[in-house]
Structure 1
């Protein structure tokens, strides 16, 4: 898909230097502020506009409902994405894919690797920083890596592009929402950049604390009128301990009302008074329901656990309304893109005293119309609510039913800032879906995950999904069709196939229909072509050879295209308009068109002589990225070392495999040094005879 030239904004970003490329598909003349709000374990069905309002309208007293009035209002003022997915059904890998723009087929953090280091590569923060943004992370992090010395981690937010961090560094700290008092999980550390400040946080409920800090930081940034900001606001609620706030949400909102950051030790925020873990929202304090589904008997009070859960989600809702009012008060509302979502499906994990146990997501049906919860790749575990608001750009009451996923947001935000995304991202910009302008590229919606447990046996779930053994799981979308595998033993295992638009509960497995055989084989091939194995998260299909494509090529060599521009990273060149093109059979000499262009892409096919393991070698002399099919073969862009040989091994089937090579031309006569070895031959340069197009 061709988008308009990335010239004007990229020139502004880079000090007015004239470039040739493109502007963002929908980018305004002024780069928007961007706020991404992420909640922890909030279900698709927990939000009014997605499901709870439907329960209210049904008025079935045996099916209680909760309220999210501010999020519902945000939805009417913007867009909801009804087919949006978390990248994984648990927080650490999901957040890693979100922040890196890479799927679980490429991300460094996979499965249950909590506190593992976010890869030292392009991140949502460092790309926005290079795009001219001030950047902040507030709330839960959990991607810092193993501590290298006291209070130092290899992947703390400051080392992944954030100018400012205020929050929990470690994943486990987010299981407690009163960091100083540690009411149920013990005292926790909170960091204000490099200072640990938990001793100053008397009675500071984190659901309030993060909102107050966010408001304070935004207010200060609004004074820097020549510099936009990007904020990643990651709540640790309603996950884990269902602790309550100290008091009602402060009246008003915005600049002078609502939550306020006082900054005084012992009274850090304006709700740091009263009694911790005490306030139930009045909408729920005396709520009753028909527990036995018999209108003739008296209704009973909601169990305290669910009063707590509803209050926790309502507190997030209040915070979002407060933040949106602040944007209006600061007169930056029209130039701020706000996105709200959750990191995975709802959880039955709550760490509370005995009298509050048995929290399960089926009281409110937090999973919505789907089966599955957190740790499932059934829809209930990975389909998440998504609301986006950008006045003047996203029309009111927009509903997008286009499939999309977390790692689409990094390219969406670079697009909004007027830049093409880094070449290594697996996502696409969602601005066309949000704004209704231009054609939407298809997202790669792909999830892989391992967990040794089972899907809960909630009566709302289909019998075949109750107690469904998880283990190795995989999901892939192809338009309205979805492929699902649980307890994968080998790559030969068939996918369950569902028309997910007509069958959101995944009731009718179409794979039993012989007409689905072609799609079955296409899905099995696709999941091998979009990923690379990771030794820390082994899969039963890691050693399976990637299948070739069935295509006839007519000419030898690769097609090259040339581009100009001056971008902070190696860009996705399919988003640029080429200025020259031709063919070549040699990678030794890259002096195409007399070195007059800044970037080149080469595309075509490599002929693999027989099935087996192939090792490729690359000596990059400039920023280079190479992929086979949609799998990253070499990533030598971010912080690459010139002249240092890289190698990788991949299993390939005999035949033609699409190859894409991208590089930034920085030196004369630099060329590419790519070699390979495989069954029956030793290490040697890729010969011209293997290339075709």
Structure 2
């Protein structure tokens, strides 16, 4: 099959983008509404402007294509993010990292831990609610923890959302008709803590779109002066390739498209007709050159691929419907909409045996890359991502700097004027999107474990086909990506690729990049903490120390004035700073209510060190390198404890303390692997 060269943006694209970028009336400088649209298992190659339009332009009849006109329009009006990554190559950990704003080395949900509680910490919704946003989650969740109903420990209503409608359980998202359960049995949809009845013939993609539109319409009628945040998580095209009941209703927006009716048995206006029946006309009779021989007649697409194309096109219609609603309500100019996927394309279809098994090879859903869902090569992680915010994001913007999905918490907080918790591993992407300010580099790091092998697809390089997965890691720094598969220990080398020149990752540069190899190995240990429920072969490896020329005794204590319910990630200048001999609140500058000590910790011997702190009822946080070692920034009613393997020598450290009592004080302890506990001595601090 043909490998399509990397996309070039045409002059026509930029002309259309210029026209769409003309200023609109009614522009507002207030906090924007924010809609985060997350689809399930959509490949980078599924979207027209990212890949499928190229396939069509070649007109190779052996290479079928799918069109996505609404998403193409959204991209042309806003920003295409060509080098955006998912936090993990499978749904639950990917979504957990998005909502918590942290990489997989810090997330509570890792690997294949479906339905596990998301963790007790700040979520994207809580951050935005602190900035007076109304928050709503619609669609697939799968991060609720053990229990039922109100007992679920991290039900959306318990982690910052004011309203919820959708599938709570991970497994329910495999079926797209809650009542009829065509292929996977009936499932439960929840409105807050209650199951919803009367969802006959409701195709979930339509159902979630209708509920999202209904929320926006009612919110604007009642609370239009209050911004809203919507987490809209579709369960398609993931899992069973079920079809809608009928064609998409005409018009879209306020008076057309999918509509919420709210009547049992007729909840939405497409809850009629025949379940699992409708195929878009352009696919129903589609044919292709199956044998690459123009002399023989073309054959019809297998029904499996007609189904996939219809599901994909339905998503396109649903997004277009939602975007039209924003126009109709005259809130498009002040609404930031992000469209992305949780990971790369899947080869799952969950159809009966009489159907052809689905393979991403038919449409090349993986685009220019090798790898699919559950891989950490580009095809498993690179996502076709679009950001739309008229006036603020210029039409025709193409962002090709690397970014990752846990950057969205910091980005949305920046747009909303909210403080983002210091714990986050993400950065605001607004400078890249708006062209204003300096873009801080994203920290792109992924770890994952999965049995099985990379599929032996003909489009994939022979060196990748059938490769064992096992324990995997991926890091990107600039144009370079480091990848490790089937890791046996920390000494295993990274494969190193310049993905700007080699997106298929065919030329491993590791043989002549010794310094870069060492840098990647060190970074892999300086970005994460071990998790007993997701063990790694490098968990016991020592985090390497730094060579610092002529360090001086003591620390730098900086103070800040903040107005935040938690310790924020700092971007402003300190109001005071002082060289101090030890970690003591009394020695820090008196001005300001937040103290941040910065310097180096001198570790006396190789080994495991466990840190703890007495900090009263004050917020507190500690990083060593980029490792979140102690997090007392969410709850102040307990003393945090954190362990890390450290090499002898100097390690960079930042310690934050929010002065919230009349007699603020802080004591930091370490316990070595022999069990000896002591307060970290003044002689251990350097600057």
Alpha-carbon contact 1:166-1:192 (below 8 Å) kept: yes
| Distance in 1 separating the partners of 2:34 and 2:152 | 27
**Could you say if the C-alpha distance between residues 565 and 491 of structure 1 is closer, same or farther in structure 2, counting changes exceeding 3 Å?**
same
Alignment of 1:318-329 (within 5 A): 318-329=317-328
Tell me, what secondary structure is at the counterpart of 2:432? Answer: helix
Partner SS state of residue 291, structure 1? coil
Distance 1:372 1:684 in 2: 49
Aligned position for 1:534? 531
1:296-375, aligned counterparts within 5 Å? 296-375=295-374
Find the counterpart in structure 2 of residue 397 from structure 1. 396
- Any idea what the Cα deviations from partners look like across 1:30-73, whole Å, max 9, x if unmatched? 10000000000000000001000010011111000001000000
**3-state SS in 1 of match to 2:49:** helix
Q: In the alignment, what sits opposite 1:207?
A: 205
- Residues 151 and 305 of structure 1: CA distance in aligned 2, closer, same or farther (over 3 Å): farther
CA RMSD of aligned residues (A): 1.3
Partner of 1:522: 519
CA deviation map 1:514-572 (0-9, x unaligned): xx001001100011000000000000000011100112244221111111121132101
Partner of residue 467, structure 1 = 466
**Equivalent residues of 2:115, 2:170 under 8 A apart:** yes
Residue number in structure 2 paired with 1:247: 246
Asked whether 1:577 is paired with 2:573, we answer yes
**Residue in 2 that maps onto 1:270:** 269
Query: Shift of the alpha carbon at 1:195?
Result: 1.6
Matched, 1:552 2:552: no
Shift of 1:620: 2.3
TM-score (norm 2): 0.94
> How does 1:65-214 map onto structure 2 within 5 Å?
65-147=65-147, 149=148, 152-197=151-196, 199-214=197-212
Worse overlay, 613-622 or 153-162 = 613-622
1:688 aligns with 2:685: no
- Structure 2 regions of 5+ residues with no counterpart? 1-26
Partner of 1:672 in structure 2? 666
Q: Partner of 1:441 in structure 2?
A: 440
Counterparts of 1:419-430 in structure 2, within 5 Å, are: 419-430=418-429
Match of 1:10?
none
In 2, Cα distance between the equivalents of 1:681 and 1:232? 45
Given that 2:578 and 2:589 are in contact with CA atoms closer than 8 Å, whether structure 1 keeps it comes out as no
Matching residue within 209, 213, 216 for 2:214: 216
Q: Which residue of 1 aligns with 2:40?
A: 40
Aligned to 1:49: 49
> SS of the residue aligned with 1:657?
strand
Is the CA contact (8 Å cut-off) linking 1:350 and 1:357 kept in structure 2? no
TM-score norm. by structure 1 comes to 0.94
| 2:286 is equivalent to residue 287 of structure 1 | yes
* Distance in 1 between residues matched to 2:231 and 2:392, nearest whole Å: 21
Aligned partner of 2:633 among 632, 637, 642: 637
Matched, 1:605 2:600: yes
Q: Deviations along 1:178-202, whole A, 9 cap, x unmatched?
A: 00001110010000112201x3101
Query: What SS class does the counterpart of residue 161 from structure 1 fall into?
Result: coil
**1:587 touches 1:671 (CA, 8 Å); kept in 2?**
no
SS at match of 1:662: strand
- Check conservation: 2:558, 2:589, Cα contact below 8 A: no
Give the deviation of 1:28 after TM superposition: 7.5
> How far is the alpha carbon of 1:668 from its aligned partner?
3.5
Alpha-carbon separation, structure 2, partners of 1:150 and 1:364: 40
Contact 1:589 1:669 in 2 (8 A): no
**What secondary structure, in the 3-state scheme, does the structure 2 residue paired with 1:386 have?**
strand
Q: What is the rounded CA distance, in whole Å, between the counterparts of 1:451 and 1:481 in structure 2?
A: 24
Equivalent pair of 1:481/1:499 in contact (CA under 8 Å): yes
Residue 675 (structure 1) shift: 1.1
Residue of structure 1 in register with 2:4 after alignment: none
Per-residue CA shift, 1:76-99, capped at 9, x if unaligned?
000011000000000000000000
Give the direction of change, closer, same or farther, for the CA distance of 1:116–1:681 in structure 2 (3 Å limit).
closer
In the alignment, is the contact (CA less than 8 A) between 2:597 and 2:654 conserved in 1?
Answer: yes
Distance across 2 between alignment mates of 1:293 and 1:78 = 38
Residue in 1 that maps onto 2:9? none
Give the direction of change, closer, same or farther, for the CA distance of 1:247–1:551 in structure 2 (3 Å limit). same
Match of residue 566 from structure 1: 563
* Stretch of structure 1 that moved more, 27-36 or 64-73: 27-36
Q: 2:204, 2:527 → 1: CA distance? A: 38
Q: Find the counterpart in structure 2 of residue 59 from structure 1.
A: 59
- Distance in 2 between the 1:222 and 1:590 partners? 50
SS of the aligned residue for 2:586 comes to coil
Q: Which deviates the most, 102-111 or 563-572?
A: 563-572
What are the superposed Cα offsets for residues 156-199 of structure 1, whole Å, 9 maximum, x if unpaired? 110111111000000000000000001110010000112201x3
- In the alignment, is the contact (CA less than 8 A) between 1:560 and 1:602 conserved in 2? yes
User: Aligned to 1:38, what secondary structure does the other structure show?
Assistant: strand
Distance 2:686 2:517 in 1: 28
Which whole-Å CA distance do the structure 2 matches of 1:439 and 1:88 have between them? 27
Aligned length: 659
* Partner Cα separation in structure 2 for residue 565 and residue 150 of structure 1: 38
- 1:679, CA displacement in angstroms? 6.0
Matched-pair contact (CA < 8 Å) for 2:412–2:428 = yes
Q: Is the 8 A contact 1:136 1:165 kept in 2?
A: yes
Q: How much does 1:357 deviate?
A: 3.6
Give the drift of 1:591. Answer: 5.7
Distance 1:677 1:363 in 2: 56
Q: 1:179 to 1:543 in 2, by over 3 A?
A: same
Q: Secondary structure at the match of 1:200?
A: coil
- CA gap of 1:599–1:193, structure 2 versus 1, over 3 A, is same
Alpha-carbon distance, 1:29 to partner: 3.8
Contact preservation (8 Å) 2:127, 2:419:
no
Contact 1:222 1:332 in 2 (8 A): no
| CA distance, structure 2, for counterparts of residue 153 and residue 286 of structure 1 | 47
SS of equivalent residue, structure 1 residue 83: strand
Give the 3-state SS of the residue equivalent to 2:210 in structure 1. Answer: helix
Tell me the SS of whatever aligns to 1:459. coil
Q: Residues 444 and 374 (structure 1 numbering): CA distance in 2 closer, same or farther, change over 3 Å?
A: same
- Is contact 2:632-2:639 (8 Å) kept? no
Please tell me whether residue 618 in structure 1 is matched to residue 606 in structure 2: no
CA distance in 2 between partners of 1:175 and 1:681 (Å) = 48
Deviation, 1:589, is 3.3
Deviations 1:295-320 (A, max 9, x none): 11111111110110010011010011
- The answer to whether the 8 Å contact 1:241/1:351 transfers is yes
User: CA-to-partner distance for each residue in 1:314-341, whole Å, 9 max, x for gaps?
Assistant: 1010011100110011111100000000
Q: Secondary structure at the match of 2:354?
A: helix
Q: CA deviation at 1:666?
A: 1.2
Corresponding position of 1:20: none
Structure 1 unaligned residues grouped into runs of 5+ = 1-26
Q: CA contact under 8 A between 2:28 and 2:333: conserved in structure 1?
A: no
